[in-house]
Amino acid sequence: MTIPVFYSISDDYTKYAAVSLNSLVKHASVTNDYTVYFLNQDLTAKHKQDLHVIGTDNVHIKFYNIDDHVIAPIENRPENYLKADFFTMSIFYRLYIPDLFPQYDKAIYLDADTIINDDVAKLYSTNLGNNLFAACVDSSIQYVPKMITYIRDVLALKPQEYINSGVLLLNCQAFRKEHFVRQFNNLITKYHFDCIAPDQDYLNEICAGRIFYLDPKWDATPNENTEPLANPSIIHYNLFFKPWHFANVQYAQYFWDNARSTKFYAELKTEFEHYTDEQREQDKNKLDFMLSKEDKTINDPLNWAQVKKQGPITL
C-alpha cells in the first residue's frame, strides 16, 4: 500500500517545504511506502532537485505541474485573495487532488508551513466513513472575535466546527462521487463570494455536515491564548507569525530542529536575522487588515449567509 501525501507550493516557498518534507521523512516508518507529490506551476529544476534528494527508498518524491485549464475558473480577484492580502493560485490546488489522481481513494494534504512529528501513516489510517474529509477545527481563530463573527454571520457556519485546511485527509472517492470540483467551479464563478480564506471557506461550506473532526494534535497552530500541546503530531505555522520571521513563536523549536538538517538552514537563519522590526510590524498590520475584511463582508448582500437565506445555493 502506498500512502499519498500532497503539498502545493510556489517556487519561493521551497525552503520551508524542504523543512516540512525533512520532518515527514524522519518520522516515516520503514515498513510503509510513501509517495510525496509537490503540486506546482513554477518550480525550478534546481529546487525540484533540492526536494528530491530528501527522499528515501520508501519515501518517493514526485512533482506534478498544474495545467492552466484545470484552474481556469479561478480568477485573480480580491475575493479570492489569501488572508485578504494577495492572490496565490497554489492555495486552490488541494481542491483538485481527488480528480487529478483517480488512482487514490484517500490522500493526505499538507501545507508547506508544517512540521511533522509523527508517522503520517497514522493519520492516513483514519476511518472516514461517508465523510468527505478529515481535518482539525481551526484553533488559530477561536479567540479572535472578528473571525468568530465572520464565520457565524458571513458564512453562516458554527465557529466551533470551522476547520483549518492546512492538514487534510481527503476521501478522494467521495469527492469524485459528489462531483466536488464541479460544485466548487460553479460556485466560484457564479457567486464570487468575498472570502478571507478562499479554499478553506469553500471546503467548510460545500462539505458542511460531512467532515470528520481530528484530534487537535494533527494541526497544532501557534496560539498565544492557549498552552502548547505536549506532543503535537503536526505543527502548522498558520497566518503571519512564522518562526523564520518572529522570535518566541509557539512551537518554534520544532521548526529549527528540523531546519538544521537541511541545506537551507543557513539561508533560513539569515532570513530571520535580517527580517526587520519594520517588516514584523507590517506583518502585524496584515493581520489587522485581514480581520478588517469582516467589516465589509458582513454587510455584503451577496455574502454566503444572505444568499443561503434565500434558499439552497444553486449550482
Sorted by sequence, the CB contacts under 8 Å of residue 191 that are 6+ apart come out as 302, 307, 313
In this structure, are strands 106-110 and 211-213 parallel, antiparallel, or unpaired?
Answer: unpaired
Exposure b/e, 175-209, CB count within 10 A at least 16 = b: beebebbebbbebbeebebbbbbbbbbbbbbbbbe
Residue 314 lies in a domain: no
Residue 94 lies in a domain: yes
Residue 183 lies in a domain: yes
Domain that holds residue 127: 2-309
CA distances from 210 to 2, 6, 166, 223 (A): 25, 22, 18, 27
Tell me the H-state helices in 27-107.
Answer: 45-52, 97-100
202: left (phi over 0), alpha (psi -120 to 50) or beta: alpha
CA distance 202 to 183: 10
Residue 98 lies in a domain: yes
Q: Give me the long-range contacts of 178-184 (CB less than 8 A, separation at least 24).
A: 178/132, 180/95, 180/98, 180/132, 180/206, 180/207, 181/95, 181/96, 181/98, 181/99, 182/315, 183/315, 184/95
CB 188 within 8 A of CB 72: no
pLDDT per position in the chain (315 positions), as tens?
899 999 999 999 999 999 999 999 999 999 999 999 999 989 999 999 999 999 999 999 999 998 877 665 665 554 544 444 444 577 788 999 999 999 999 999 999 999 999 999 999 999 999 999 999 999 988 888 999 999 999 999 999 999 999 999 999 999 999 999 999 888 888 888 888 888 999 999 999 999 999 999 999 999 988 899 999 999 999 988 899 999 999 999 999 999 999 999 999 999 999 999 999 999 888 888 788 877 888 888 888 899 998 876 754
Residue 146 lies in a domain: yes
Please identify which residue in the block is written with the cell numbers 498558520. 238
What 8-state DSSP symbol labels residue 30? Answer: T
Pick from 221, 248, 257: nearest CA to 236: 221
Judged by DSSP in three states, 11 sits in helix
The CATH number given to whatever domain includes residue 22 is 3.90.550.10
CB 23 within 8 A of CB 120: no
Q: What's the total number of domains in the chain?
A: 1
Amino acid symbol at 226: T
CA distance 158 to 94: 23
CA distance 27 to 22: 9
Residue 261 lies in a domain: yes
Residue 315 lies in a domain: no
